[in-house]
Amino acid sequence: MDSKNSVQKDFIREIINKDLKTDKYDGRVHTRFPPEPNGSLHIGHAKSICLNFGIAQEYGGKCNLRFDDTNPAKEEKEYVKSIIEDVKWLGFDWEGRLFFASDYFNQMYDYAVQLTKAGKAFVDDLNAKEISEKRGTLTKPGINSPYRDRSAEENLDLLERMKAGEFADGEKVLRAKIDMAHPNLNMRDPVVYRVLHASHHNTGDKWCIYPMYDWAHGLEDSIERITHSLCTLEFENHRPLYDWFLIQIGVYRPQQIEFARLNLTFTVMSKRMLLELVEGKYVHGWDDPRLPTISGMRRRGYSPASIRNFCSRIGIAKVNSIVDFEFLEHCVRDDLNKTAPRFMGVLHPLKVVIENYPEGKVEEFEAVNNPEDSKAGTRKIPFSKELYIEREDFMEDPPKKFYRLTPGREVRFRYSYLVTCKEAIKKNGEVVELICNIDPETRGGYAPDGRKVKSTIHWVSAAYAIDADVRLYDRLFTVEDPAGQKDADFKDFLNPDSLQILKSCKVETSIKDLKPLDRFQFERLGYFCIDSDTTKDKIVINRTVTLRDTWAKLQKQQMNK
């Protein structure tokens, strides 16, 4: 994939280069991707996955897949499965190093005992509300808990009894003893263990106390001998705690480095909001193609390569930024243009009868499967008297710069003939059928006299076309930053037209040989893929993204005039 002397040089790789030079970690590079199994992965996670696994590949290092499953109240086995599938689909390999934070619960507890024995932790009887009240504020220091000065022996006894299940949820916590006046709130005697009588997806009912993130995460990294622990910006203020714990216990200490999470226009990226959309049925599940989830994007037709490429092209930095959704679309088009086989399909069919073409005659024309890939070969497509073309490709009274079919005008029907429209048949004012003539001399689409036509349009033979449902997707929200709207619910900005279902579209016969998730291009329309709802009797197609459409842009400009 990427070479070792990669030109990429973001600030993280710079740090790694320096660490390699100074031999800080004996020349090792070992990262990890640590999702919490409490939701589906999204494109923001993909950024982290590409960063962590990408760095490991570039430096000849390793990257672990580790589930940070320290909170049984929110986590589910289902998510573990889907996350594994997503990382694999994106094209990364953890080489068997699949770990769980819960694998280390015993060791984490032993370390907590060590910390307590050293007088660096205490058991607090205060409840959550009282702890919060005594924490102080951004400007005012906190107040010590009245239980802060218990003896190490008493704390140890209490901790053991917490573990043994003698206390109810919330009755007691283990807290680190740091500094209630610390300007960094995270250092004001943070909670290390809480009592939680909940069944864990991995450890079952073995535990009734569970470690907090700040305590657990550094230990997980340390145990796995991670060199560079990459996380998002909001953990910046946690780094002093991360370091503090590991220093107190006296174990191997990785370097935590924070980078900015990914934001995309016209969508939301928070797990909470995504969950709300899924559970509130605003979308059809985690893999709804309108969602920025990996599973949604997969179903929508995004290729793993396009997502990887996007992640590498947006770069890594510490500034909060919001990437244009259009850039992601550019990356899919870029990849699919090179890889997707072409077909012809008509989304809004308009019947065309070729007046001077014999009834019952069928000719086969050779079509190029992918002009960007000569190895993709060609295929035969049937031409006959009755055809369908795109309704948009005909206008009775066209504006300037409309090059397509219009009464009296000749255009090319791709790969077949030059065709002239003779008459538009109307019913109740609506054009329902076109009567056209071909020039028999232009067989194959070339005029012997060298005359040019302004446009080439796609078509399918009425007799050979098959029907399909096509699902068109638009942006999920109507505003660039739905999550950032003041005094408003992000759901108020849901786009009511984000999904449009087209019935009885007419597509090339060969589409029926495609399997779910197969990606392809309908010429002149966009990139599509077969949806998993496809059955023997019904083909369902998703539109991944339209082609760049300069005509649509022109129309928009004219409208604005």
Window 152 to 191, contacts with RNA (CB under 7 A): 169-173, 183-186, 190-191
Site string for RNA, 451-490 (x = CB under 7 A): -x--xxx---------------------------------
Contact status: 361 vs RNA (CB under 7 A): no
Beta bridge partners of 229: 256
Part of the chain binding RNA (CB under 7 A), chosen from 5-13, 48-56, 106-114, 285-293: 5-13
Contact status: 391 vs RNA (CB under 7 A): no
Pairwise CA distance, residues 225 & 209, whole Å: 25
Pairwise CA distance, residues 217 & 173, whole Å: 18
| 204 DSSP 8-state letter | B
In the region spanning residues 190 to 209, those forming contacts with RNA, defined by CB under 7 A, are: 190-191, 194-196
- Nearer CB in complex with RNA: 327/497: 327
Kindly state the smallest distance separating residue 456's Cβ from RNA, in Å: 4
Q: What are the residues whose beta carbons fall under 8 Å from the beta carbon of 135, sequence distance 6 or more?
A: 142, 180, 185, 188
Tokens representing 231 are 């996380």
Kindly state the smallest distance separating residue 427's Cβ from RNA, in Å: 25
Chain centroid, CA 232 distance in Å: 17
Contact status: 364 vs RNA (CB under 7 A): no
Contact status: 559 vs RNA (CB under 7 A): no
Q: Which of 306, 370, 534, 544 binds RNA (CB under 7 A)?
A: 370
Any idea which residues carry the catalytic annotation? 36, 261, 271
Q: Which of 1, 2, 11, 95 binds RNA (CB under 7 A)?
A: 11
Part of the chain binding RNA (CB under 7 A), chosen from 71-79, 80-88, 346-354, 531-539: 71-79
Q: Which of 42, 409, 414, 519 binds RNA (CB under 7 A)?
A: 414
Are the C-beta atoms of 31 and 226 separated by less than 8 Å? yes
Instruction: Provide the greatest CA pair distance for the chain.
Output: 101
Kindly state the smallest distance separating residue 271's Cβ from RNA, in Å: 8
Kindly state the smallest distance separating residue 535's Cβ from RNA, in Å: 28
- Nearer CB in complex with RNA: 39/288: 39
Kindly state the smallest distance separating residue 78's Cβ from RNA, in Å: 17
Contact status: 59 vs RNA (CB under 7 A): no
> Contacts with RNA: how many residues (CB under 7 A)?
95
Contact status: 138 vs RNA (CB under 7 A): yes
- Nearer CB in complex with RNA: 135/475: 135
Pairwise CA distance, residues 135 & 520, whole Å: 58
Chain centroid, CA 44 distance in Å: 7
Contact status: 111 vs RNA (CB under 7 A): no
Q: Which of 18, 78, 81, 128 binds RNA (CB under 7 A)?
A: 128
519-522: strand order across its sheet: 342-343, 519-522, 526-530, 540-546, 466-473, 499-507, 345-346
Kindly state the smallest distance separating residue 404's Cβ from RNA, in Å: 5
Q: Quickly list DSSP for 360-418.
A: T--EEEEEES-TT-GGG-EEEEEE-SEEEEEGGGB-SSPPTT--SB-TT-EEEETTS-E
Kindly state the smallest distance separating residue 554's Cβ from RNA, in Å: 6
In the region spanning residues 24 to 43, those forming contacts with RNA, defined by CB under 7 A, are: 34, 36
525: phi then psi, degrees, rounded to nearest 5 = -110, -50
Contact status: 521 vs RNA (CB under 7 A): yes
CB-facing half-sphere around the CA of 326: CA atoms within 13 A: 5
- Closest among 195, 273, 263, 264 to 234, alpha carbons compared: 263
Q: Which of 62, 300, 524, 543 binds RNA (CB under 7 A)?
A: 524
Pairwise CA distance, residues 374 & 387, whole Å: 28
Q: Which of 17, 164, 446, 538 binds RNA (CB under 7 A)?
A: 446
- Nearer CB in complex with RNA: 403/499: 403
In the region spanning residues 392 to 411, those forming contacts with RNA, defined by CB under 7 A, are: 401-404
Pairwise CA distance, residues 346 & 251, whole Å: 64
CB-facing half-sphere around the CA of 87: CA atoms within 13 A: 27
Are the C-beta atoms of 179 and 209 separated by less than 8 Å? no
Contact status: 431 vs RNA (CB under 7 A): no
